[in-house]
């Protein structure tokens, strides 16, 4: 099927001989070696005619990809060919469902934001402390353990990180990680930006793509993730130097309810932390950084809690997590004097 771009191509070629009909057939090196009405074919090295009919041209073999002669150059033709290739790529992107420009959530004029004010690990595998992370209602973890303070697990909830709650939660009470929640209606995206410490406005340190969830429902009363995403979980360490452990969580989901009395969200975030993600997080620390504990030992301690085997080797390599939080509204931009009065 003939396409409109070739009509434009023929019009451009007219000025350099598209309507020539005289056939030569003589050997050549350049177009100028041929008589009027012929091209020097780049493949055969013979003067060959280029025939046009009804506004369309049949080009010699190799013309578009094997141009070897200087007098064949045509800036207008090259620009048109580049435009055609760009259009082809845009069509391919649309067919593949890929946008040419990614939505920019932080530029959304209707962006809403809340700063996390309290953060803690769920203390048992019970409602409000974790999710059914493996979608198996018949299993839950950790099971009841009176000495560890674990209540009887229920509803298939998985929250292995509860094994660190007694150690980590007192730290989190004194050192809330500098993290916010931000929702972009335009991009339908919930973000978890790490912020500058003691920031007043929403002040993301970076705009990492793995700190966001899509397919999120946000109303005046609730937040619910309908799809799973990724998030870098920040856990301050108890060594007084501001050290923060950054662990990439996957299959992240969230649910939160608005408390109109305290004017804040009360919510729960769930996800998985893999052994590989923990190794990467701990690689930034030395034994001295961890107050005398080698990073390998810290990793081994955490992996004792692992409750999912992802590669079928019989050894669990991921830890389920339930993370409780509250978050209060914050401004996303400077308010004018009139608006503040």
Q: Residues near 223 by Cβ (< 8 Å), separated by ≥ 6? A: 181, 183, 190, 216, 217, 254, 255, 256, 265, 267
d(CA 134, CA 149): 23
CA distance 13 to 48: 15
Predicted confidence (pLDDT) per residue in 239-276, tens digit: 656 678 899 999 999 999 999 999 999 999 999 999 99
Banded pLDDT at 224 (limits 50, 70, 90): very high
CA distance 229 to 46: 61
pLDDT given at position 309? 95
Which 3 state secondary structure label does DSSP give 35? coil
202 has a pLDDT exceeding 90: no
Residue 99 has pLDDT above 60, yes or no: no
What is the pTM (predicted TM-score) of this model? 0.67
């Amino acid at each position: 099927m003939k396409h409109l771009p070739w009509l434009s191509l023929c019009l451009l070629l007219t000025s350099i001989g598209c309507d020539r009909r005289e056939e030569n057939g003589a050997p050549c090196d350049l177009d100028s070696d041929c008589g009027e009405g012929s091209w020097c074919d780049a493949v055969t090295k013979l003067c060959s005619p280029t025939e046009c009919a009804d506004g369309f041209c049949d080009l010699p073999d190799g013309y578009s990809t094997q141009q070897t002669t200087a007098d064949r150059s045509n800036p207008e033709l090259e620009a048109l060919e580049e435009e055609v290739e760009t259009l082809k790529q845009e069509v391919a992107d649309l067919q593949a469902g890929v946008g040419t420009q990614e939505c920019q959530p932080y530029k959304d004029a209707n962006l809403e934001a809340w700063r996390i004010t309290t953060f803690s690990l769920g203390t048992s595998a019970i409602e409000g402390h974790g999710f059914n992370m493996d979608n198996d209602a018949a299993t839950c973890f950790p099971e009841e353990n009176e000495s560890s303070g674990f209540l009887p697990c229920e509803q298939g909830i998985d929250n292995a990180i509860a094994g660190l709650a007694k150690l980590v939660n007192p730290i989190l009470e004194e050192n809330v990680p500098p993290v916010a929640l931000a929702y972009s209606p335009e991009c339908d995206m919930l973000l978890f930006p790490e912020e500058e410490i003691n920031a007043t406005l929403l002040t993301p340190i970076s705009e990492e793509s793995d700190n966001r969830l899509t397919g999120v429902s946000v109303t005046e009363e609730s937040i619910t993730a309908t799809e799973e995403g990724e998030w870098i979980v920040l856990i301050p360490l108890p060594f007084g130097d501001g050290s923060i452990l950054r662990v990439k969580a996957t299959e992240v989901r969230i649910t939160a309810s608005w408390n109109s009395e305290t004017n804040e969200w009360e919510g729960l975030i769930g996800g998985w932390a893999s052994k590989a993600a923990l190794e990467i997080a701990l690689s930034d620390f030395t034994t001295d950084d961890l107050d005398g504990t080698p990073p390998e030992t810290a990793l081994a301690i955490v992996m004792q809690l692992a409750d999912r085997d992802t590669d079928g080797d019989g050894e669990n390599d991921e830890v389920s997590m339930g993370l409780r939080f509250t978050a209060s509204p914050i401004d996303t931009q400077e308010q004018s004097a009139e608006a503040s009065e």
